[in-house]
């Protein structure tokens, strides 16, 4: 039974430059708190945001304030894919790709993924 559950969790694809341990993440948050001195960020009427895609060394100063603004039960994330993945699936263009995982590996808990809500026309 555990093998079936494990197959439903998307594995970590990039572990370089990211925190994948609770202690590492807490250290990162504490460090960023010290930089921003617990500054409040303006969040009135935010309905969308664009985040950079890189590790914490390069993007941490963007991730920290942006992710502190998220206060939602559900978030939609659009991403680009790396060239190695594109090559594996023959470099698709102009298509949406959904993976088949029910959960993504998270630091504190695995993250539940909502099923796609697409209607055929």
Indicate the pTM of the whole model. Answer: 0.64
Domains in the chain: boundaries: 2-112
**Rounded mean pLDDT, 46-71:** 80
Q: 13 vs 109, which has greater pLDDT?
A: 109
Residue 90: which pLDDT band, with cuts at 50, 70 and 90? confident
Structural contact between residues 81 and 97, judged by C-beta atoms closer than 8 angstroms: yes
Q: 56 vs 3, which has greater pLDDT?
A: 56
Give the C-alpha separation, 25 to 106, whole Å.
Answer: 11
**Rounded mean pLDDT, 44-58:** 77
Q: What string of H, E and C letters represents the secondary structure of the chain? A: CHHHHHHCEECCCCCCCCCCCHHHHHHHHHHHHHHHCCCCCCCCCCCCCCCCCCCHHHHHHHHHHHHHCCCCCCCCCCCCCCHHHHHHCCCCCCCCCCCCCCEECCCCCCEECCCCCCCCC
pLDDT over 90 at 17, yes or no = no
pLDDT over 60 at 64, yes or no = yes
């Amino acid at each position: 039974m555990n093998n079936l559950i494990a197959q439903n969790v998307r594995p970590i694809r990039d572990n370089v430059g990211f925190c994948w341990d609770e202690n590492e993440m807490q250290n990162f948050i504490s460090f960023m708190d010290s930089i921003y001195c617990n500054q409040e960020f303006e969040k009135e009427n935010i309905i969308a945001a664009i985040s950079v895609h890189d590790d914490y060394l390069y993007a941490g100063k963007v991730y920290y304030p942006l992710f502190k603004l998220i206060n939602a039960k559900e978030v939609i994330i659009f991403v680009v894919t790396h060239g190695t993945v594109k090559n594996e699936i023959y470099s698709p263009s102009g298509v949406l790709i959904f993976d088949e995982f029910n959960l993504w590996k998270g630091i504190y808990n695995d993250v539940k993924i909502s099923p796609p809500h697409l209607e055929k026309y």
